Amino acid sequence: MTSAAGADADGERRNVSDVTGVAVLGACAAWSLVTAAVHDGRPEGVLLAVLAVAAGYAVGRICGVLLPVAAPGAAALTGLVLTVALPRLAPGPEIDAPLGHAGATAAVLTLSAGAACCAAWATPVPVMRLGLWLLACGVVVAGALLGSATAVVTCCAVLLCSLAAGRMRHRGPALIGLAASTALLTGLTWAVAGNALPSGLAASLEDQLTSRRIGLWRDALRLAHGDAGLGVGPGRFGELSATAAQSTLSDGKPHSAPLQLAAEQGVPGVLLLGAAFCWVLFALWRAPRPTPVVLTAGAALTALAALTAVGNALSFTTVSVGAGLLAGLATARPLAEEPPSGAPAVPDRERHRDRRTV
C-alpha cells in the first residue's frame, strides 16, 4: 500500500513538471509569434528551436525508459562522431572565433561529455562504467584536437562536477548553485554590454571576447532599451545593428541568447528563457534517476547555458535537440530499478524526501 502511494505521489510530481514544461515552451513559441506580428519579424528560428528542444526531450524520455545506459552512451558517441566528422556543424562565418560558431561545436561536445558521464553513473557493470568514463575523457581530447579551448574547459568542468556529484546525497542545493552560477554569468554579460565593469576587467574581457562581439552586445542592449516590452521583432537584429552592418560576414545575431531575446522580444522574452532553464532544473530535481545522473546532466546543461550567454550555440538545431535529449534522458524513469551508483546507496524514501525539500 505504501509503495503504491509513493508511486502515485511520484507520478503526480512528474506530471506537474511535465505540464510546467509544456506551458513554458508553449509560452516561448506564442510570445515569438506575438512580437513577430507586431514588428513584422521572422519567428521561424525561435519556433524551430522550441520544437527541437521539445522533440529531443520527448525522445530522451522514451529512450531513457527503455535503455537508461545504452541511450545516453549512444548519444555521447553520436555527438563525438558528429563533431569530428563535421566540425563546422553548419556553414557560417567566424568558425574560428573563440566563442562564435565554434561555440556550437563546444556545446555538442559538452553535451556528449555529460551524456557519457550519465551513462557511466547509470551502469552497475564496472568494465562498462570504465569504458564510458574513457569515452567522456575522449570527448575532452577531441575538443583539444579540434582546437576548441572552450570545449576543453566546459567538458573538463562537466567531468569534475560529475565526479563530485557521486559524493552528494542531496541534489537541491547543487541545482540551486547551478542556477545561481547561470544567473551570475548572464548578469556579467549584461554588465559588459552596459559598460558597467571596471576598466581593467572590461579590457581583459574585451581581449577574450573581441571588440566586435561586445559591439554586437551593446547594439542588442540599445535595441532592448528602445522597446523593452516587445523588442524589435524576431530575426530583425541584423537589420538594425550598426555593428552587424559593418561586416560582410555577419550572421545577423548578437552572439548572446539573453541579449538577442532582449533585443528582439523584449524583457518577457528574457524571462521566458530563464523560465525554460528553471523548468529544466525543476524537472531534474523531481526526476527519479540517481542523484549523480541528475546533477551531471544539470552541470552539462549549465555549461551549455554559459555558452549560449556568450555565443550563438542555440542557433544550431543540433544543439537544441541535444539539450532536450539530455534533459529527457536524465528525467526518465527506467523500467527496471536502477542500482546505486558509485556513491553510497540512498534509500528510495530519502530520495523522495530530498526531492520534496531543497
Kindly report, residue by residue over 251-301, the tens digit of the pLDDT: 778 989 999 999 999 999 999 999 999 999 999 999 999 999 999 999 999
Q: What is the pLDDT of residue 195?
A: 87
Compute the mean pLDDT over every residue in the chain, rounded to the nearest whole number.
86
| Contact (CB, 8 A) for 39 and 236 | yes
Q: Taking the CA atoms of the chain, what radius of gyration do you get in angstroms?
A: 20
Confidence of residue 355 (pLDDT cuts 50, 70, 90): very low
Confidence of residue 212 (pLDDT cuts 50, 70, 90): confident
| Contact (CB, 8 A) for 232 and 223 | yes
| Amino acid at position 153, single letter | V
pLDDT digits (tens, 9 = 90+) for 99-115: 445 688 999 999 999 99
The residue ranking higher by pLDDT, 304 or 354, is 304
As a whole number of angstroms, the distance between CA 345 and CA 52 comes to 35
Cα angle for residues 9, 14, 20 (degrees, 5° grid) = 130
- The model's pTM is 0.89
| Contact (CB, 8 A) for 116 and 73 | yes
Q: What is the pLDDT of residue 344?
A: 40
pLDDT at residue 197 tops 50: yes
Q: Rounded to the nearest 10 degrees, what angle do helices 348-356 and 2-39 cross at? A: 40
Instruction: With CA atoms as reference, report the closest residue to 232 among 263, 254, 253.
Output: 263
- Give the Cβ contact number of residue 350 at 10 Å: 13
C-alpha cell recorded at residue 50: 522550441
| Contact (CB, 8 A) for 95 and 101 | yes
Q: For the chain, what is the domain count?
A: 1
Query: Measuring CA to CA, how many Å separate 123 from each of 129, 188, 248, 306, 331?
Result: 6, 38, 50, 29, 16
Q: What is the pLDDT of residue 208?
A: 84
Q: What is the pLDDT of residue 10?
A: 58
Q: What is the span of the domain harbouring residue 103?
A: 2-356
